[in-house]
Amino acid sequence: MPADNLIDGRAIASQLLGELAARISLLKSRGIRPGLAFVRVGEDPASKVYVGRKEKTCSELGILSETHVLPATATEAELLGLLEQLNQNPHLHGILVQAPLPPQIRQSIVYSAILPEKDVDGFHPVSMGKLLLGDTGGFVPCTPAGVVELLARSGISTTGAEVVVLGRGNIVGKPLAALLCQKHRLANATVTLCHSASRNIKAHCLRADIIVAAMGVPEFLKADMVRPGATVIDVGVNRVPDPSAKSGSRLVGDVDFAAVQPIAGRITPNPGGVGPMTIAMLMQNTVRAGENACR
């Protein structure tokens, strides 16, 4: 199957970042440079890579960024103290705490400690509450926002569509389901949220116009679960053993891509699909935070 059914997340993200450049220039003309703080706890290799990519994008756009690294042994109180300093810094408009966090630190407490106006990750209870209520004044989590943008800019309408979201996590599944069912031109979907306790997931998927796989299970979505012509969005990032790889492992998504691509009407590659959009939406949230600060 030729690649003409691929949704190019890199190209769409590049387009979005290009649009942000004008907004950043306007802010700078008013004496404001958008600022974003990254916080890591420990030396998780994947976290270092993810933060590095975000730092690189900030540099390319002219967004001020700084990274704070605490040891893996840091206490919750130490992290909260750092966040309070960042909350009070007027040059920083956004704060992102990179997951995962060590077991002694409660993620929910950390997300609640960031000021809602600096919550560019969209995980503060206020942000989540506004999302559920359809209040556009809050920040939307970056990956769900990226999925919606990816669909919209690919000409895939969600209005009246049957959408199956695989996974009920707080980072992707639940906020995406909330986004897609809003009364909005980029939503208006009928959403089914499937999870590990769902019965007959295959039957739900075969009914779907759009399937978003975000379960964290390697290659979970198989060809016999997809209706011909359906749109498939793969959010998963899973490391699986691969003796032929130099590292002994490789990354795969939640979709059995080789088998599903010939059946799907449109499909995201992995990598090169949702990942670049997540970073682009983080940059958009940061720019918006900077704009809000000068109102």
Q: Which two tokens stand for residue 214?
A: 């975000």
DSSP state of 7: -
- Strand partners for 69: 40
The partner residues of 38 in beta bridges, in order of sequence, read 67, 96
CA atoms within 13 Å, Cβ hemisphere of 238:
19
- DSSP-assigned letter for residue 5: G
Per the structure block, which two tokens stand in for 82? 């750092």
| Amino acid making up residue 295 | R
Contact 118, 93 (CB under 8 A): yes
Are 34 and 289 within 8 A, CB to CB?
yes
> In whole angstroms, what is the distance from residue 139 CA to residue 135 CA?
10
DSSP letter at 100? P
Residues belonging to the active site: 54, 98, 121
Task: Please tell me whether the peptide bond between 276 and the residue prior to it is cis, using omega within 30 degrees of 0.
Answer: no
Q: What is the DSSP string of 171-219?
A: TTHHHHHHHHTSSSTT---EEEEE-TT-S-HHHHHHT-SEEEE-S--TT
Q: How far apart are CA 91 and CA 212, in angstroms?
A: 37
Three-state DSSP class for residue 170: coil
Please say whether the beta carbons of 39 and 70 come within 8 A: yes
163 three-state secondary structure: strand
